[in-house]
Amino acid sequence: DARVTQTPRHKVTEMGQEVTMRCQPILGHNTVFWYRQTMMQGLELLAYFRNRAPLDDSGMPKDRFSAEMPDATLATLKIQPSEPRDSAVYFCASGLGSGITSTDTQYFGPGTRLTVL
């Protein structure tokens, strides 16, 4: 049963600390998305990758957030320094895409619940 995995599931940290969230996409999927879920905005797209190359990261605060795909089996989202307003659930999703279009179905991981005190 292929699924997207995310670690850690929960993270509590203090303001100013670095936070790294990891995602393992479904094997064979070539597109990876990072979302942030908040009460007011729903699911916000932060960044996405196609074949490990970043296609769009316009949703991320550039000064503190960074997203990478060191290899096809790992995507990371880093926040440095973290702030209380970053507290949210962060989801990773993967899918199969071609050309410049997004995938028609995304498969989500269970999310990382981040609390910044």
Partner 1 sequence: DQQVKQNSPSLSVQEGRISILNCDYTNSMFDYFLWYKKYPAEGPTFLISISSIKDKNEDGRFTVFLNKSAKHLSLHIVPSQPGDSAVYFCAASDGYQFYFGTGTSLTVIP
Q: Rounded to the nearest whole angstrom, what is the least distance from the CB of residue 103 to partner 1 in the complex?
A: 9
Tell me 71's DSSP state. E
Q: Which residues contact 99 (CB under 8 A, 6 or more apart)?
A: none
Q: Rounded to the nearest whole angstrom, what is the least distance from the CB of residue 15 to partner 1 in the complex?
A: 25
Nearest alpha-carbon partner for 110 in 29, 38, 37, 4: 4
C-beta of 15 vs 77, nearer to partner 1: 77
The residues of the shown chain that bind partner 1, judged by CB under 8 A, are 4, 33, 35, 39-45, 48, 56, 91, 93, 100-102, 104-111
What's the CA gap between 113 and 117, in Å, rounded? Answer: 13
C-beta of 3 vs 85, nearer to partner 1: 3
Q: Rounded to the nearest whole angstrom, what is the least distance from the CB of residue 16 to partner 1 in the complex?
A: 28
Q: For CA atoms 84, 89, 72, 31, give the dihedral sign.
A: negative
C-beta of 111 vs 116, nearer to partner 1: 111
C-beta of 9 vs 16, nearer to partner 1: 9
State how far Cα 44 lies from the chain centre.
10
